[in-house]
Amino acid sequence: MSKEYVLKEVEFWDGAMASSQALRQAEVDIMAAYPITPSTPIIQNYADYLSNGYVDGEYIRTESEHAAMSACVAASAAGARVTTATSSQGFALMIEVLYQASGMRLPVVLNVANRALAAPLNVNGDHSDLYLGRDAGWINLCTFNQQEVYDMTLMSFKIGEHKNVRLPVMVHQDGFICSHTAQNVAPLQDDVARKFVGDFEAVDSLLDFARPVTYGAQTEEDWHFEHKAKQHKAIMDSINVIEDTFEEFEKLTGRKYNAVESYMMEDAEIAIVALGTTIESSIEAARQLREEGIKVGIVAPRVFRPFPYDKIADALKNVKAIGILDRSSPGGALGMLFNEVTAAIYTNDTKPVINNYIYGLGGRDTTIADLKQIAKEIQANADAGKLTTPVQQFSGLRGPKLSFFDMESSK
């Protein structure tokens, strides 16, 4: 039995601490992890709880992230509640096994402190790793501050382990900007958190010899398609359990979460769509702009996978122009968030003017001033009823203006 860790009503936690406290309260059986900046404090904190009796589990100190995720998959199949944390290159190394976890329907929880991908090497926050894993079949929950990291990490177990879901879950937080900066976090006490998360119920366990099971069979052209379709249906349907869990959590804490978060959208003429800590900065920028008469709102997918296509469309149906911000090097395309959000709003009757910003790569600071400038350009598009800028622009970049697809001037 683990010792109770008495928490203050409001703690001053960085994102890593928020995440590891939630892992502790979820009474994770197995953590298998390999350190990588900036996710490292998450696993160090857990090791500390373990060393001092605040959690009863095993920490498998693997020799790589690939092994970490492999251990998570095997331990989960054997009937353990498991978790790991990683970033960037470590995430990239895990990729092969991410698909195994979801394909075998194992509710592994992965905290990702989002970080840029090399080359060139960079340890700071952007969403390259988040984007890299988007098709891996995991539920992806996004957070914009430390409180949300705590809340989503607690909920991730409840969601992933739900008998109708049985899928792995990633909880994303911005590397350094969230993981290493502290804000006020209101945690639950251990008993309340444990009761909310619930006991782990093993399904199809490798350690149930009354019903031996084969995990990881091969399916060729006569079976593979059906299995992947069934898996896709499971993640698409998981939105119901996610929303139910959000509701249950709201009843417990008063904190309300939605598949798609909207801020100041009630009367918004223009919208910014983004992910991560940029949301908090955008909210502040919007407050200031509203004093200047610019009615900007912010839309952010809380649930990134399953992608809330319909709810994104609904959230953006009344605006005249949208700027969609991607914090990942797009590698020869428009930003992924731009593409997905654009696809979602295509079915609306309204046809807002949309453009794409690539920003903040490798931890480049994105200031309130940057976001205000972006909002003003979006407003100009709204006013003109057409693009006044190229479709894709780089924001906060030194050197000559870098942009692509100047549709208006090429007409």
CB nearer to other proteins: give 208 or 250. 208
3-class DSSP state for residue 194?
helix
Closest distance to other proteins from the beta carbon of 27 (Å): 9
The single-letter code of the amino acid at 260 is: V
Closest distance to other proteins from the beta carbon of 111 (Å): 18
Instruction: Please give the structure tokens belonging to residue 342.
Output: 């654009």
CA-CA distance, 305 to 86, in Å (whole number)?
Answer: 18
State how beta strands 321-326 and 270-273 pair.
parallel
3-class DSSP state for residue 64?
coil
CB nearer to other proteins: give 76 or 328. 76
Q: Which residue has the tokens 């990239």?
A: 92
CB nearer to other proteins: give 216 or 385. 216
Taking a C-beta distance cutoff of 8 angstroms, is the pair 385, 305 a contact?
no
From residue 97, give the alpha-carbon distance in Å to each of 28, 88, 133, 167, 246. 20, 15, 11, 13, 28
CA-CA distance, 338 to 278, in Å (whole number)?
Answer: 15
In terms of Cβ atoms closer than 10 Å to its own Cβ (0-12, 13-18, 19+), residue 72 is buried
Closest distance to other proteins from the beta carbon of 307 (Å): 20
Beta partners for 393?
357, 403
CA-CA distance, 156 to 148, in Å (whole number)?
Answer: 12
Taking a C-beta distance cutoff of 8 angstroms, is the pair 305, 275 a contact?
no
CB nearer to other proteins: give 224 or 256. 224
CB nearer to other proteins: give 12 or 223. 223
CB nearer to other proteins: give 137 or 390. 137
From residue 354, give the alpha-carbon distance in Å to each of 319, 338, 343, 378, 384. 10, 9, 11, 8, 12
Closest distance to other proteins from the beta carbon of 260 (Å): 28
Closest distance to other proteins from the beta carbon of 120 (Å): 26
Instruction: Please give the structure tokens belonging to residue 34.
Output: 């390999």
Closest distance to other proteins from the beta carbon of 228 (Å): 9
CB nearer to other proteins: give 103 or 297. 103
CA-CA distance, 401 to 109, in Å (whole number)?
Answer: 41
CA-CA distance, 110 to 140, in Å (whole number)?
Answer: 10
CB nearer to other proteins: give 182 or 202. 202
CB nearer to other proteins: give 218 or 410. 218
**Contacts made by residues 364-367, CB under 8 angstroms, sequence distance 24+:** 364/396, 364/397, 365/396, 366/278, 366/281, 366/395, 366/396, 367/281, 367/396
Closest distance to other proteins from the beta carbon of 232 (Å): 9
CB nearer to other proteins: give 166 or 320. 166
Beta partners for 113?
173
Query: Which residues are near other proteins by CB under 8 A?
Result: 29-30, 32, 56-58, 60-64, 66-67, 70-75, 77-80, 96-97, 100, 103-106, 166, 202, 204-220, 222-223, 225-227, 229-231, 233
Closest distance to other proteins from the beta carbon of 196 (Å): 19
Closest distance to other proteins from the beta carbon of 96 (Å): 6
DSSP category for residue 18? H
CB nearer to other proteins: give 64 or 367. 64
CA-CA distance, 169 to 10, in Å (whole number)?
Answer: 26
The single-letter code of the amino acid at 308 is: P
Closest distance to other proteins from the beta carbon of 338 (Å): 32
Closest distance to other proteins from the beta carbon of 166 (Å): 7
